Each structure stands twice: as C-alpha cells, then as structure tokens.
Amino acid sequence: MELRRLTDRVFYTMFNKETDRPVLGYISGQKRSLMVDSGNSKNHVECFYEAVSHAGFRKPEIIAITHWHWDHTFGMHAVEGVTIALQKTNDKLAELAKWEWTDSAMKERVADGTEIEFADTCIRTEYPSLSEIRVVTSDIIFDGYMEIDLGGIVAEVHHVASPHSEDSVCIYVPQERVLFIGDAVGVDYYNNCYLDKDKLRSLMTAIEGFDFDICVVGHNEPVSKQKIVQVMNSLLER
C-alpha cells in the first residue's frame, strides 16, 4: 500500500476489493493531519501507517469518519489519534459494539436480515480470527457541520443527505479543491439496494455546491467533479 498524491497536501491510499477495504485519506496540515476513515481492521490501519511513514509524514492526530459501515469504522480502535463521528454514526456504532462476533452470531444476523451477506463474507476474509473484531464509538461527536483547522489548511466536515446511509459525511478541503464523499453516491445495501432518488437529488445539490476539482470516493479511483455529477445523473435516470 502506498500513499498517493492528489495535491501538495492531500493524499490517499487505494481501496482493495478482496476484503472491501475502502480508500483512506490523508490531509496534511502544519499543526496536525487528518485521516479520512479508519479502515476496516487493525491490519488495514497498520498498512496505512506504513504508507504514511514511508512517504515521510507523521501519523494523523485526527480521524474523521464518513459513515458507520464496518469497512470504514472497524479500524477505529487501532488508530492513535482522536476520532470524530456524526451523532448518528456513533449511535449505530454503539449498537454494533454490543454485537457478538462469533460464527453463529454472525450467521444469525445474516439470517434475520440485520447483516448483509456481502459484509459478512468480507468481514470473514479480513478477519481469519473473528475474535479480533472490536467496534468502538468515537471520541468526539458532532452534528451537522464542523470545521477542523489543521494549521494552514482547513477541513470542513459536512453531514449530507445520501441514498447510501443516513449518516453520510463529506469532508471538503476548499484550499486544495478536494472533496471526500465516502460511499455517499450509492444505493442502500442494508435496504435491498434501494435507491432513494429524493436523497440522491439532495446529495447532488450538496455536491454541486462544493467548489472542487477532485472527488475521492470510497471504493474507486478519485474522479473529477464532472464525472461524479455524471454518475449521479445516470443513477437518477435508472
């Protein structure tokens, strides 16, 4: 895993389809750095730290979470900085923290529809030993909007409407013209892959309102503003 450069101060590591590891972001400030999402495991976090140190950067002091899904949050217990999540994200994580991570408990959750098959399969691949799964809530909770001054560079954290999950958060770096959207442009896998077009329209308005060149998505290569708008339009026409 390597840290890839988007601008002088914004970087990311690649997604990995095998265990559904998402893209992780790194925003480098003079005083502190911000990590976007915490990865899906301690191993994922360690790979990220290696990439960061190899590129000559320090470990991020702050970690902002884009939404509650396991692949973006199960590394939270292993990161060294302060974690920040939306109230709604934290509520969901508090619920997941009570779940039992055994073969039978996981099978039961898939059978009763609490968990989806895709996540179950990927979790089992990422964790050969299920007992290593640890779900924690964040250190800081916010609602709506928050601004983080990293020293010479500001990251804006926005709660946005999204068809993917109720708690979707975008991280906007106006000075570098980069927008991290996590999986916000996507269907709701926890509701039979339902696409709520009203929410998608609201999201599109929000995304179009940001002034950016590069959009970093959760499980794909970064794209241009034009491209992400095009993706949303084609989803709306579906």
Given the rule CB under 5 A, which residues bind Zn ion? Answer: 69, 183
CB of 183 to Zn ion, least distance (A): 4
User: Which residue's CB is nearer to Zn ion, number 73 or number 83?
Assistant: 73
**Nearest residue (CB) to Zn ion, 22 versus 29:** 22
Beta bridge partners of 22: none
83/162 with CB nearer Zn ion: 162
- Nearest-approach distance from CB 71 to Zn ion, in angstroms: 7
- CA atoms within a 13 Å half-sphere pointing along the CA-CB vector of 172: 20
SS (H, E, C) 155-208: EEEEECCCCCCCCCEEEEEHHHCEEEEECCCCCEHHHCCECCHHHHHHHHHHHH
Other CB atoms within a 10 A radius of the CB of residue 97 amount to 13
Least distance from C-beta 23 to Zn ion, angstroms? 12
CB of 8 to Zn ion, least distance (A): 29
Q: Which is nearer to Zn ion, 126 or 183 (CB)?
A: 183
To Zn ion, the closest distance from the beta carbon of 122 in angstroms equals 11
CA 57 to CA 3: how far, in whole Å? 10
- CB closer to Zn ion out of 167 and 183: 183
Give the HSE-up count for residue 80: Cα atoms under 13 Å, Cβ half-sphere.
9
Name which of 69 and 159 has its Cβ closer to Zn ion: 69
CA distances to 126, 146, 200 from 16, in Å: 11, 29, 26
Shortest Cβ 72–Zn ion spacing (Å): 6
Angle of helix 225-236 versus helix 197-209 axis, rounded to 10: 160
Half-sphere exposure (Cβ direction) of 27: Cα atoms closer than 13 Å? 28
* Chain centroid, CA 215 distance in Å: 13
* Alpha carbon distance 107, 223 (integer Å): 37
